[in-house]
């Protein structure tokens, strides 16, 4: 079992309007063990994955465990334009206990399924990217067997490393691919922003062998918007639902210095926002997460603000 910390007000604050003009005034707090989701509301469920065990195993920079609360701190200050019949709930953090990453992933999976069963749309704040394995499995368990779940990953890395030495932040989509094959199915996976200098030949070979759709970072920018949109539309046509995951280390360090693996050679927010718009308007988005924020290396909370802005955009668009 992972450790669970209930949601609280400590990370949510900002200007006080008395009219719910800011998200810290709109947010309500719930427990995953006794949720207050009401069917008459359109509910968005915020859940933290407070762990960097996967990053540590992958020899990355430690600190992503502090990511969820850092995002909340910035998100609470932002303006609230949600409708009155919408419900924004914070369900607190799942935390890795005694380095047991596998138990944490299983608990995340079960929590995601439970939230969906109760009518909530999950948005997970990370935390290292190994959360993708638990998040995906939770979404898939919710779906009927004949429904196909596709993955869209905004990232510099495929995260298709073999998990022969255990699960880590670089293995989630490899794990999913192998488990899909065991069921005589194939992974439906699209990676946007891939960098050749950040992925080995072995990873490219594995991606090609599993028919992974991907766009290189140099083509994932606003100058190629029509091409990006076409590729997204083609991918989404072949699936029933979409799991979207945003790895902040895919952004240029000009926008996101506070990540586990920073690089100046990354994409910019404008193309991500245009892509998210298309994904949400498809009506197929089932779950979303933002991962790899490392506040230990952030500058003036720039990366936390970027992550919060992405979440702000998504919750208002859906």
Of 171, 270, 177, 172, the closest CA to residue 221 belongs to: 270
User: What's the angle, vertex CA 312, arms to CA 97 and CA 170, rounded to 5?
Assistant: 40
In eight-state DSSP terms, residue 147 is P
Residue 157, annotated ligand binder?
yes
Q: Where are the alpha helices (DSSP H) in the chain?
A: 23-26, 53-57, 67-75, 101-117, 131-142, 172-182, 201-209, 225-237, 269-281, 302-317
Q: Is 159 annotated for ligand binding?
A: yes
Q: Is 81 annotated as a binding residue?
A: no
How does DSSP classify residue 152? Answer: E
Does the annotation list 129 as a binding residue? yes
**Is 52 annotated as contributing to ligand binding?**
no
* Cα distance between residue 244 and residue 228, in whole Å: 16
Angle at 266 between CA 262 and CA 267, to 5 degrees: 135
- Cβ-Cβ contacts under 8 Å for 315 (sequence gap 6 or more): 44, 82, 88, 123
Alpha helices in 210-301 (DSSP H): 225-237, 269-281
Residue 90 assigned ligand-binding role: no
Instruction: Name the helix (H) or strand (E) containing 50.
Output: strand 42-50
- List the binding residues: 129, 155, 157, 159, 247, 249
Known binding residues for Mn(2+) are: 129, 155, 157, 159, 247, 249
């Amino acid at each position: 079992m992972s450790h669970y910390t209930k949601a609280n007000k400590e990370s949510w604050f900002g200007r006080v309007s008395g009219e719910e003009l800011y998200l810290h005034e709109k947010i309500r707090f719930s427990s995953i063990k006794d949720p207050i989701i009401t069917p008459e509301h359109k509910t968005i469920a915020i859940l933290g994955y407070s762990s960097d065990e996967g990053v540590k195993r992958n020899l990355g920079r430690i600190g992503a465990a502090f990511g969820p609360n850092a995002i909340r701190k910035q998100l609470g200050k932002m303006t609230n334009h949600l409708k009155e019949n919408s419900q924004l709930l914070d369900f607190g953090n799942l935390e890795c206990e005694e380095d047991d990453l596998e138990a944490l992933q299983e608990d995340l999976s079960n929590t995601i399924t439970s939230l969906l069963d109760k009518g909530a749309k999950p948005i997970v704040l990370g935390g290292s990217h190994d959360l993708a394995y638990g998040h995906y499995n939770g979404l898939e368990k919710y779906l009927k067997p004949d429904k196909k779940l596709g993955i869209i990953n905004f990232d510099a890395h495929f995260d298709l490393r073999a998990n022969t030495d255990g699960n880590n932040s670089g293995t989630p989509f490899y794990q999913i691919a192998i488990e899909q094959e065991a069921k005589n199915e194939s992974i439906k996976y699209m990676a946007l922003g891939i960098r050749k200098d950040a992925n080995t030949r072995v990873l490219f070979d594995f991606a090609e062998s599993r028919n992974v759709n991907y766009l290189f970072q140099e083509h994932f920018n606003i100058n190629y918007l029509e091409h990006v949109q076409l590729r997204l539309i083609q991918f989404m046509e072949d699936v029933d639902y979409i799991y979207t995951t945003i790895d902040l280390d895919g952004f240029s360090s000009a926008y996101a210095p506070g990540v586990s693996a920073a690089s100046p050679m990354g994409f910019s927010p404008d193309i991500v926002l245009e892509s998210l718009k298309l994904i949400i308007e498809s009506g197929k988005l089932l779950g979303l997460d933002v991962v790899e924020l490392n506040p230990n290396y952030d500058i003036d909370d720039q990366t936390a603000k970027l992550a919060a802005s992405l979440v702000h955009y998504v919750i208002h668009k859906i």
